Amino acid sequence: MVNEPAPSTRPTLDPTQVTRLTWLTFARLLLYLALLTAIAAFYLQGDSARYPSSLRIVALTLAAAFGAAALYAVWLRTRRGLRTLAWVQVVIDQLIWTVLVYLSGGPLSGATTFYGLSCVLAAVTLGLPGAIAAAALGGALFTALVFGATGGLVAAPVDQPPFVQRPEVYLYPTLVSLLGLLLVAFLSGYLARRLQTESGRLALVTERAERAEKLAALGKIAAALAHEIRNPLGSISGSIEIIREAPGLGEDERRLCEIVRHEVARLNDLVGDMMDLARPRPPNVTVVDLAKTARDVIDLAQKGGRAENDVPLRFEGPATLPVNADAGQLRQVIWNLVRNAIQASGAGLAVTVRVGLDHDVPFVEVIDRGAGIAAEMRGRIFDAFVTTRSQGVGIGLAVVKQIVDAHNATITVDGSPEGGTSFRVLLQGRAV
């Protein structure tokens, strides 16, 4: 028996963060290229004679940074360890800026603003924790440079005047730089969080727009087909009932009639689901007995199909539980969930319909003991035309989600402790 490796629990970047990391990596390439171009301009103008050693080290540092950015781009193509890559970029950026600060005036250098730039870039990919970490690292490196300069531990570049070893000279600019760095970190982290929130809302709006587009297309199809389908179904159903009552009908013939009747009912339910999904109506909220509605659905389901033969249905809950809801739509939600649970269950495995209060919030829960739903499918199970069954169409649960949303309620899907799947609908509140 081969033991599969346990899935990694390390946090990873979401697709939006990966996109941002990609753009920022190439932005780093352009930034380092621009700085290298500026250094080349100094050389071409003959200004390199003033600071030959410093400019040489700056050029080497920026060249190394440009090479690191090129390696980042290669790393990105592997799509592995991208969060680690984001942290590596933060650390290397702050080290590079520290070298530039040292070479451009030390504690009094204006290049300290680059520390804040790294905080902004870290916030975009890593959020507030990344911005704070970048600020802490940049502040620590800059503070170490200041203490080294004032204590004589760090000498100025050989082609520049020596650092003034008086702490009072550096106190004010150092405090201003550190305070500015901290402010930039918190502000950029806050803005990054707002950006993430707005991106999530935009994704939700886009998803709803796509769903509405699908529903509009389905509405056109349903409107054209529903009438043409339901009329023959009614004729077939009526004819089968007449044939079943005919004298002298054998057991095999009656069994075949029952199969036809069951399939006609299934097709009629499918057409009804399509119409409900394509032409939703706003709920007419009244006081409804949730417990009685659930029991009525169970009674109806037990009168035909698999629930009549090999899938027991059980009810758990109080005798009565008044709630505010549309009676017909609430019944439709429970019916679709029960029907879905029956279809998912194996022979002899009971389906439980549970009604009750969760922290004074009324709920109805339908639990089956079937094969369950894979975790990666649970986020899409309520989308139209998405199904886990080979013979399913993927409309019933979409209707359920549509009705639940119209009631400002919530529905969750989870694995059942006994195996199978649990669908729980939390309503707004019980009627008083």
Q: pLDDT per residue over 119-146, tens digit each?
A: 888 888 888 888 899 899 988 999 898 8
pLDDT higher than 50, residue 412: yes
Which segments of 79-166 does DSSP mark as H helices, in order? 82-103, 113-150
**Residue 355, pLDDT score:** 94
Q: How confident is the model at residue 294 (pLDDT cuts 50, 70, 90)?
A: very high
Strand partners, 151: none
Mean per-residue pLDDT for 307-323?
84
Higher pLDDT, 337 or 375: 337
Q: How confident is the model at residue 2 (pLDDT cuts 50, 70, 90)?
A: very low
**Residue 5, pLDDT score:** 41
**Residue 273, pLDDT score:** 65
Strands (E), 259-335: 286-289, 313-316, 322-325
Distance CA 178, CA 351 (A): 63
What is the longest distance spanned by two Cα atoms in the chain? 117
Segment 98-103 long-range contacts (CB within 8 Å, at least 24 positions apart): 98/138, 98/141, 98/142, 98/145, 99/57, 99/58, 99/61, 100/58, 100/61, 101/142, 101/145, 102/145, 102/154, 102/157, 103/54, 103/57, 103/58, 103/61, 103/157
DSSP letter at 421 equals E
SS3 407: coil
pLDDT higher than 50, residue 201: yes
Q: How confident is the model at residue 287 (pLDDT cuts 50, 70, 90)?
A: very high
Higher pLDDT, 390 or 239: 239
**Residue 365, pLDDT score:** 94
SS3 352: strand
**Residue 56, pLDDT score:** 78
Mean per-residue pLDDT for 395-405?
84
Mean per-residue pLDDT for 242-270?
76
Tokens 């389901």 sit on residue: 301
Name the residue among 125, 53, 56 with its Cα closest to residue 93. 125
Q: What is the pLDDT of residues 347-384, one digit of tens each?
A: 778 889 999 998 889 999 999 887 777 766 766 777 76
Domain 286-426 CATH superfamily? Histidine kinase-like ATPase, C-terminal domain (3.30.565.10)
| Tokens describing residue 252 | 């095999």
Name the residue among 163, 40, 165, 167 with its Cα closest to residue 104. 163
**Residue 198, pLDDT score:** 75
pLDDT higher than 50, residue 293: yes
Average pLDDT value for the chain: 79
pTM score of the predicted model: 0.47
SS3 81: coil
Percentage of the chain lying above the pLDDT 90 cut: 11
Q: What is the pLDDT of residues 223-249, one digit of tens each?
A: 666 667 767 777 787 787 788 777 777
